[in-house]
Structure 1
Amino acid sequence: MNDHVPGNRFSRRELLRVGGLGTLGISLPQLLAAQTSGAEKRNQQASKADACIVIFLNGGPSHLDMWDMKPAGPIEIRGEFDPIPTSLSGVNVCEHLPHLARQMHRVTLIRSMNHSVNNSHAAAVYAALTGHDRGEQGGGAKPDDHPSPGAVLAKLRPAPTGALPYITLPYKTKEGAAGPLQPGFLAGFMGAAYDPFWVLDDPNKPDFHVRNLSLPDGLALERMNARRGLLSSLDRGLGAESNQTLASMDDFQRQAFELLTSNQAQRAFRLDDEPASVRDRYGRNIYGQSVLLARRLIEAKTRVVTMSWAPHANATWDTHGQNFKSLKTRLLPQFDAACSSLIEDLAQRGLLERTLVAVLGDFGRTPKINNNAGRDHWNSCYSIMLAGGGVKAGLVYGASDRSGATPIQSPVTPGDIVATIYRLLGIDHHHILYDTLNRPHTVVPQARIIHDLIA
């Protein structure tokens, strides 16, 4: 049978691909099917949050120059920056985080993070995002990896009909410029149907649009319904076996068409709808606009958005050289604008209470400054920040020693944080998931919920 219809530029095959994710052959209808299949498996544990935004500072942000400064230490440890007071009495942060300093009464700082990985970014990212610390075992993403929280939520607590359940942006972060995709972002053993919807276009560009959620060039919205009818007619001309297969996809194909043609479904990606002053406040760069887009996606009922702050592990926060110059001129101003605006906007819109914001990283940086004016990897102690979604506001949890090298109070692992995130989102971290061969796996077996963090 001829795949093209006379008088039309678009083939039946192209229409079936409309909205395709373009990753591992997963289509938009398959994603919707996976979302629906998980609806019967919702965990019944009460949730304090309905959604989660992960801002992942990929490469290893320096805790000593951001959250856990040591101004009384020797110059080779304390660095070039001064601390400033915050809206949380008695708590200081870096002078280059002035906007975020005004939001500290809304957040929890954890200053006693640690894990076993000091060399491999990939293994540290995997631990931070999945809660599974496998030591220095590096390498890229693998089919038998443990899943990300976004994938788990897509299965156990699906987003409402018509919303994309799990989105990652603006990069598929690699393990080095020519390296493989980092682990921790995908669904792993759960199967690629639960992988994120990737938004890989720069939202700061004037012509920003989402290729994976757009119609082919030249196919107008008003013609889409006619194309859908044509597709149905073509399907009726196929053999019985093909008809049976396609019939099982009818509901998901219809939902895919609805996402592609519905103004409501597309609205979250229309950053031009935001006032220019708001876009300026978040920062006119790929990261600031990605954080703004994350807020809009949560408003559109996406369950989990993960924003990875680097095209590859060594590109941004991996400050082995010129640590202070990079932080002062580029990294901290961009992060300060985006993160503070996100927390402020969520609070003002009444969304912070049910939206968990997690600012995570692979590890921290060495207390001692190296000969390149940088700091190297340091897994023994680092800091993260949580806000909203049932987290206690205005809390500093844990403490490091006088040089920021070792936790001296309430040490915390990434597994503990991921288990606590699951608890806030209504998922039991001891829940059993099954891989594609029907083998059982515990979501995060070696971890504890930190109840002191929960309001």
Structure 2
Amino acid sequence: MFGVSSLVRQCDGVSRRTILQAGGLGLFGLSLPSLLRAEAASKSGSKPMNCILLFTAGGMSNIDTFDMKPDAPVEYRGEFAPISSNVPGTQVCEHLPRMAQAMDKVCMIKSIVHGESGDHTAAMHYMLTGYPQRPDPTGQPIGSTIYPAFGSVIAKELGWRNNLPPNVLIGGKMSYVGAGYLSSKYDPLPIKSDPNAKDFSVEDVSIPNEVGFDRTMRRRRMLDRLDGWQRQVESAMKSPNANATAGGAVLDRSEFYRQAFDLITSPTAKKAFDLQSEPDAVRDRYGRTREGQATLLARRLVESGVRFVTVGFNGWDTHVKNFISLKQPLLPTLDQAWSALLEDLSQRGMLDSTLVICAGEFGRTPGVNGGAGRDHYAPCNAVGFSGAGTAMGHTVGKTDSKCASVVGQNNSTLDYAATIYRLLGIDDSQEYRTEDGRPVLINAGGKPMAGVIG
């Protein structure tokens, strides 16, 4: 059995269950058909890049990981020591030994700057869409546009493949991971259950026990009988007096339900979510943690046809006990999962066609606070890009001696977004339309970051 939480809250406060049920409760006892409307955006014949985004929700400390300052005063440099990596001249934290041997597969970017150090939700909007956002203290925006996250743009541009949704979110406590002003059909399919649990399952990707296969097949036959009625409706819609909008909705519904049937009976979907089929050695390599197994699941999904997978790594908001939290469990968990993913993709010949990003909403302050922690800090960050034509083994940008500001090349989050879209083959000069018909560019003026694309 497979389990997906249907209670994930989107940035507008509406639950995914509400959104999906609004499209009509399942002919198959499911809430999938509304989500399946995303298939209408599919573009055939293209072979685009894929993307796995490892998002360190809360904000990873750059100065304690990939931008260490061992010569700075102790109140800046902190408790950890750097170690050499497999790239000459590149050092990483001593608690990232596996990533130290994988830096030849990473383009480490230190030039990204944005202006939101105070609020997680606003900072996430910067780093998940490229655009600024100004929400109120409750996290709900006032009179401003919510832009689509990268995965939602990919969903709109590239659509479904192999009966699998284009955009999937695995865990994580993140805001603005949805489609924003685009239709909710481009929201990610959320997987909230723990992939490391023995009873891991994903609802809505198999036939519910209470429905059963035989009952599902009867409903499929009912759908076939309704096709005759639909053809009559289609003929009626050709009348000059017909309501074309209403007719279009009726005509689409059958296809969406048919796709729901295809998904819940799809061997490809069942196989993609079946972590139990992975050898124990592979599962161990990723780490027997929620994040480790979620990262392995992301690889399986991309391999099967999903185009964009976001994996949430929680707990990085280290205002207190920063070094204790990083030492265990944060850094070992990320070290194992991220390095395993890069190694696995490389061995499978998938790294050339898969962009791997490791990013958070901001970095942490260069100075250690009174609680032995570090606070939010957007002027400096460390973001890793791998695969898909990136200049792996290189570092782009640098910071000053205390990791307080970027020196030289300085990039906005729109530049960051432009780089992602360029690597994934998306024309970000296109205009979309908001719900009220206002034209909005996918990316307003961002340019790919110099030195990132190989």
TM-score category by the smaller chain? 0.7 to 0.9
Is 1:251 aligned with 2:255?
A: yes
Residues 323 and 124 (structure 1), Cα distance of their counterparts in 2 relative to 1, 3 Å cut: same
> Which residue does the alignment assign to 1:350?
349
Residue of structure 1 aligned with 2:38, choices 13, 34, 48: 34
TM-score (norm 1): 0.86
Offset of 1:106 from its aligned partner?
1.0
Residues 275 and 57 (structure 1), Cα distance of their counterparts in 2 relative to 1, 3 Å cut: same
Cα distance in structure 2, aligned partners of 1:390 and 1:135 = 34
Offset of 1:434 from its aligned partner?
1.5
**AA of the residue aligned to 1:24:** I
Residues 366 and 21 (structure 1), Cα distance of their counterparts in 2 relative to 1, 3 Å cut: closer
Give per-residue Cα distances to partners, 1:346-378, cap 9 Å, x unaligned.
000000001000111111111111111101111
Cα distance in structure 2, aligned partners of 1:347 and 1:140 = 39
Cα distance in structure 2, aligned partners of 1:76 and 1:248 = 62
Cα distance in structure 2, aligned partners of 1:168 and 1:201 = 11
Offset of 1:239 from its aligned partner?
13
Cα distance in structure 2, aligned partners of 1:117 and 1:136 = 11
SS at 2:37's partner residue? helix
> Which residue does the alignment assign to 1:313?
none
Cα distance in structure 1, aligned partners of 2:124 and 2:252 = 38
Which has the higher mean CA deviation after the structures are superposed, 107-116 or 333-342? Answer: 107-116
Cα distance in structure 2, aligned partners of 1:238 and 1:113 = 53
Kindly indicate whether the alpha-carbon contact (under 8 Å) linking 1:22 and 1:212 is maintained by their aligned counterparts in 2: no
Residues 210 and 258 (structure 1), Cα distance of their counterparts in 2 relative to 1, 3 Å cut: same
> Which residue does the alignment assign to 1:296?
300
> Which residue does the alignment assign to 1:401?
400
Residues 234 and 250 (structure 1), Cα distance of their counterparts in 2 relative to 1, 3 Å cut: closer
**AA of the residue aligned to 1:253:** Y
SS at 1:412's partner residue? coil
Cα distance in structure 2, aligned partners of 1:239 and 1:159 = 26
Cα distance in structure 2, aligned partners of 1:164 and 1:239 = 28
Cα distance in structure 1, aligned partners of 2:203 and 2:401 = 50
> Which residue does the alignment assign to 1:119?
118
TM-score (norm 2): 0.86
SS at 1:356's partner residue? strand
**AA of the residue aligned to 1:294:** A
Offset of 1:391 from its aligned partner?
0.6
Which has the higher mean CA deviation after the structures are superposed, 23-32 or 150-159? Answer: 23-32
Offset of 1:111 from its aligned partner?
1.5
Cα distance in structure 2, aligned partners of 1:247 and 1:434 = 24
Kindly indicate whether the alpha-carbon contact (under 8 Å) linking 1:57 and 1:359 is maintained by their aligned counterparts in 2: yes
> Which residue does the alignment assign to 1:188?
180
SS at 1:213's partner residue? coil
Residue of structure 1 aligned with 2:17, choices 17, 22, 46: 22
**AA of the residue aligned to 2:361:** D
Offset of 1:389 from its aligned partner?
1.0
Matches within 5 A, 1:40-119: 50-119=49-118
Residue of structure 2 aligned with 1:265, choices 263, 269, 280: 269
Offset of 1:240 from its aligned partner?
7.5
**AA of the residue aligned to 1:134:** Q
> Which residue does the alignment assign to 2:3?
none
Residues 100 and 434 (structure 1), Cα distance of their counterparts in 2 relative to 1, 3 Å cut: same
Is 1:276 aligned with 2:276?
A: no
Cα distance in structure 2, aligned partners of 1:252 and 1:332 = 43
Cα distance in structure 1, aligned partners of 2:18 and 2:281 = 35
**AA of the residue aligned to 1:416:** D
Structure 1, unaligned runs of 5 or more: 1-19, 175-181, 311-315
Offset of 1:191 from its aligned partner?
1.4
Offset of 1:297 from its aligned partner?
0.5
Offset of 1:334 from its aligned partner?
0.4
Residue of structure 1 aligned with 2:217, choices 215, 225, 232: 225
Cα distance in structure 2, aligned partners of 1:238 and 1:295 = 40
Give per-residue Cα distances to partners, 1:199-219, cap 9 Å, x unaligned.
111111111111132322243
SS at 2:76's partner residue? helix
Which has the higher mean CA deviation after the structures are superposed, 231-240 or 372-381? Answer: 231-240
Give per-residue Cα distances to partners, 1:395-418, cap 9 Å, x unaligned.
100000000010012112222111
Kindly indicate whether the alpha-carbon contact (under 8 Å) linking 1:221 and 1:261 is maintained by their aligned counterparts in 2: no
Residues 437 and 128 (structure 1), Cα distance of their counterparts in 2 relative to 1, 3 Å cut: same
Kindly indicate whether the alpha-carbon contact (under 8 Å) linking 1:21 and 1:212 is maintained by their aligned counterparts in 2: no
Offset of 1:298 from its aligned partner?
0.3
Residues 238 and 422 (structure 1), Cα distance of their counterparts in 2 relative to 1, 3 Å cut: closer
> Which residue does the alignment assign to 2:291?
287
Cα distance in structure 2, aligned partners of 1:346 and 1:389 = 11
Offset of 1:439 from its aligned partner?
2.2
> Which residue does the alignment assign to 1:16?
none
> Which residue does the alignment assign to 2:442?
443
> Which residue does the alignment assign to 1:156?
157
SS at 1:112's partner residue? coil
> Which residue does the alignment assign to 1:197?
189
Cα distance in structure 2, aligned partners of 1:23 and 1:345 = 38
Cα distance in structure 1, aligned partners of 2:135 and 2:107 = 29
Structure 2, unaligned runs of 5 or more: 1-14, 24-30, 237-246
Cα distance in structure 1, aligned partners of 2:194 and 2:94 = 29
**AA of the residue aligned to 2:19:** L
Kindly indicate whether the alpha-carbon contact (under 8 Å) linking 1:146 and 1:188 is maintained by their aligned counterparts in 2: yes
